[in-house]
Amino acid sequence: MAKSEKKATGKRYKICVVGAGHVGLVASACFAELGHKVVCVDNNKQKINRINKGRMPFYEPGIDELVKKNIGKNLNFSSSFAGSIARSEVIFIAVGTPPKSDGSADLSSIENVAATIARNINSYKLIVGKSTVPVQTGQKIKETIKRYEKKKVTFDVASNPEFLREGKAIYDFFYPDRIVIGIESKRAEKILKEIYRKIKAPLIVTDINTAELIKHASNSFLATKISFINAVARICDLAGADVKKVSLAMGKDKRIGKEFLDAGVGYGGFCFPKDVEAFIYISQKLGYSFDLLRQVKKINDIQKATFVERVKEYLWILKRKRIAILGLSFKPDTDDMRFAPSIDIINFFLKEGAMLNLCDPQSNLEAKKIFKTGRQVKYFRNPYRACEGCDCICLVTEWKEFKDLDLKKIKRSMKYPLIADGRNMFDKDKAIKLGFEYIGVGR
């Protein structure tokens, strides 16, 4: 009976996820939902206390509910590494790998976790890298554990890169386009396959180096697609063509695909900017100069400056002009401001002496940590209020709330009806019909 029951439901693993950031917290809640017994550890005690009280450290649709559903049952949060590691069979490392000033990834948190595992390892463990890391990091994790281990215990290291997007993280976890597992042993392969057995997705089994490289290559390729279409948008501006139609027609070609062909103010967030840089860095270190990616980065940087320049062409002098910035987070459905295009755009405007009305449905609080309320900066939750008396509206993040705005009402309250649509979100013809001057990106 017990045997057939086990066969029907499969093995429930004792999993420890290290890191309660976007990847770690989402993966913890989702592994618990899949039926595994999960403890998510983070050395930030305050963060763990808050999560235990039901307060999530970031905005992500659905995460509050999923944590609430599983907490105290399959899911626990702790700041005690030692016990959590000792009690687990599988340890996922999901700590941050922020960029250093030279573009390389700062892997000190990864090393720290590996050393902590080494000090607390008491039986066979599978240690899985989930953070985005440069190729050959798995090798370093293995070396670190061997260097610091107190007891000689068998362990395996594996790589299982995460491909989830912020804002759609839970959906992406349960319905991924693929699951990649980089392994060195049949035992590790079996465990990872069992952990993910309920998820229907192509499973790609590789060695560890290949798995790590797949993640950097995927993010860099997506960033390349964005910079490519942004470069095409520049040509469209110069030639009087419409980039939206260009990308629509290009995307119909199945070999190209329609995703990530939306021209705009450029990519941001904590993944693409740092991963492109880190991929350039590791390639150089290995002996290859990835010049294509250098251009990808350059195009992305220029995109934001060009956007402000185009507003300047219309308004001439920006000093004391009031400008509404709609959307601050790096993309909709998140409050994440890390490397958001809005930051550079706001800084350009502030340098020119413009007065800014900043407005975002979720990230005003995060933005206030970067731009304090003051003479030049005011915050608004209500976009209509944000646009009142303005000389220009800059749409920087395409939140749904902004798409449905009543432009007629907005126009009545503005000083000068200019829209700079950094995401090509508004209906251009409609805006012009209403009497707006319209600046798009490549149309």
Q: Which residues bind ligand UGA (CB under 6 A)?
A: 132, 162-166, 219, 222, 226, 260-262, 264, 267-269, 271-272, 330-331
The four Cα atoms 271, 272, 277, 280 give a dihedral, to 10 degrees, of 120
* Contact yes or no for 235/268 (Cβ under 8 A): no
Dist CA 277 CA 317 (whole Å)? 35
Cβ at position 101, least distance to ligand UGA in Å: 21
**Side-chain-facing half-sphere of 177: CA atoms under 13 Å:** 7
**CB-nearer residue toward ligand UGA: 37 or 274:** 274
**CB-nearer residue toward ligand UGA: 39 or 243:** 243
Catalytic annotation present for 394? no
Q: What is the largest CA-CA distance in the chain?
A: 79
**CB-nearer residue toward ligand UGA: 268 or 417:** 268
Q: In terms of Cα–Cα distance, which of 10, 15, 21 is closest to 270?
A: 21
**CB-nearer residue toward ligand UGA: 264 or 440:** 264
Cβ at position 131, least distance to ligand UGA in Å: 9
Question: 25 exposed, middle or buried (CB, 10 Å; 0-12, 13-18, 19+)?
Answer: buried
Distances (CA, A) of 127 to 30, 159, 183, 216, 411: 18, 8, 10, 20, 57
Residues facing 323 on adjacent strands: 356, 392
**CB-nearer residue toward ligand UGA: 203 or 434:** 203
* Contact yes or no for 330/399 (Cβ under 8 A): no
Q: Strand 75-78 and strand 90-93: pairing?
A: unpaired
Cβ at position 89, least distance to ligand UGA in Å: 25
* Contact yes or no for 401/333 (Cβ under 8 A): no
Q: In terms of Cα–Cα distance, which of 365, 421, 417 is closest to 390?
A: 417
Q: Is 371 helix (H, G, I), strand (E, B) or coil?
A: coil
**CB-nearer residue toward ligand UGA: 165 or 312:** 165
Cβ at position 331, least distance to ligand UGA in Å: 4
Q: Out of 16, 236, 271, 387, which one is annotated catalytic?
A: 271
Catalytic residues: 271
